[in-house]
Amino acid sequence: VYKALVEKTKCIPGSKVENNKFCVSVHFRCVEEK
């Protein structure tokens, strides 16, 4: 799941995927709004 999310979000500048112990988090707080 982690690798799939990294692949899907790599084209979004400012996005970040964290691989936590029991879950995966996707952060969009640094993404520029359009």
- Kindly state the DSSP code that residue 33 receives in the 8-state scheme: P
CA 33 to CA 22: how far, in whole Å? 30
User: Is residue 8 within 8 Å of residue 24, measured between CB atoms?
Assistant: no
Please state the φ and ψ torsions of residue 5, each to the nearest 5 degrees.
-70, -40
Q: Give the HSE-up count for residue 30: Cα atoms under 13 Å, Cβ half-sphere.
A: 9
pLDDT in tens, 12-29: 999 999 999 899 999 988
Q: Is residue 6 scored above 90 in pLDDT? A: yes
What tokens appear for 26 in the block? 């996707």
Q: Is residue 2 scored above 80 in pLDDT? A: yes
- Could you tell me whether strands 24-27 and 16-19 are parallel, antiparallel, or unpaired per DSSP bridges? antiparallel
Report the pLDDT value the prediction gives residue 29, as an integer from 0 to 100.
81
What are the domain boundaries of the chain? Answer: 1-34
